[in-house]
Amino acid sequence: EWAEGEILERYAKEHAPLPKAEATVIVSQVAAAVQAAHDAGIVHRDLKPENVMYDPKTKKVKLLDFGIATDTQAPSDERLTRAGFFVGTLMYIAPEALSGELVTAAADQYSIATIAYFLLTKCLPYTAKAPREMFTQLLTMPPIPLRDACDDVHFSPALETVVMRALSRTPSSRYPSVDAFSKAFQEAAAVEMEPVRALDRFKGLFGRSR
């Protein structure tokens, strides 16, 4: 099936940080598609901007590449990552996928939260540049708080709480489902003003003459 638009990774690198309204549209559609897969017993396991097609004109999103998706009803040993090998892109993969734990629907939630983090900040939750360093950070360190990701973009505590909960290293600490995360994200983003850049805020303090 032909998908109109462009790869989200390319679009985000050019336009991020995205307005919260646009980021919410993208995240909610990705989450809806993934939740539908989860309801059918399928975990995607390779969610990343390269696997999302986005049409900025229509605001429509299409999820690509279920090539390494797994059946949640499969035997446990078939759902474990292989020793010394992992699937998915390291920057977006959940920590449990690297440590030999079962890869469940919670791993997809982590990946969607990482996508949301990137769309909102144009940064990723970890700073590692090399695979070995990334392994270490994912398995031993908490992600960078959303508020510290970008010096000139600011977020409400509510939105940060939602994103960072979904990025918890422990799967049980995340939302009970992708749908629950998506609803919380939409609610937090809806009540928050657009990101205010530091320079604009500074200008606002002195923009009026007395």
| Mean pLDDT for all residues in the chain | 84
Which pLDDT value is given to residue 3?
62
The continuous run of DSSP H or E covering 70 comes out as strand 70-71
Question: Is residue 1 one of the residues assigned to a domain?
Answer: no
Q: What is the pLDDT of residues 39-96, one digit of tens each?
A: 999 999 889 999 999 999 999 999 987 645 444 444 443 333 433 334 347 899 999 9
Measured in residues, the chain has a length of 210
Lowest pLDDT segment from 19-28, 78-87, 93-102, 159-168:
78-87
Question: Is residue 202 one of the residues assigned to a domain?
Answer: yes
Q: Provide the residue range defining the domain that includes 140.
A: 6-206
| Per-residue burial over 66-82, b = 16 or more CB atoms within 10 Å of its CB, e = otherwise | eeeebebeeeeeebebe
Please tell me the distance from the alpha carbon of residue 111 to that of residue 115, in angstroms, as a whole number: 6
* Count of the separate structural domains present in the chain: 1
The enclosing domain of 192 has a CATH number of 1.10.510.10
Lowest pLDDT segment from 108-112, 115-119, 164-168, 198-202:
198-202
How many Å is the maximal CA-CA distance in the chain? 72
| 94-100: long-range contacts, CB 8 A cutoff, minimum separation 24 | 94/171, 95/138, 95/139, 95/169, 96/171, 97/45, 98/135, 98/138, 98/139, 99/139
Q: By the 8 A CB rule, do 107 and 34 touch?
A: no
pTM of this prediction? Answer: 0.82
* Active site residue ranges: 46
Please tell me the distance from the alpha carbon of residue 112 to that of residue 153, in angstroms, as a whole number: 20
Side-chain half-sphere CA neighbours of 83 within 13 A: 0
CA distances for 29 relative to 25, 62, 93, 136, 187, angstroms: 6, 8, 19, 32, 15
Mean pLDDT of 95-106: 89
Q: Is the pLDDT of residue 30 over 70?
A: yes
- 192 or 86, which is more confident: 192
Question: Is residue 177 one of the residues assigned to a domain?
Answer: yes
Which pLDDT value is given to residue 128?
86
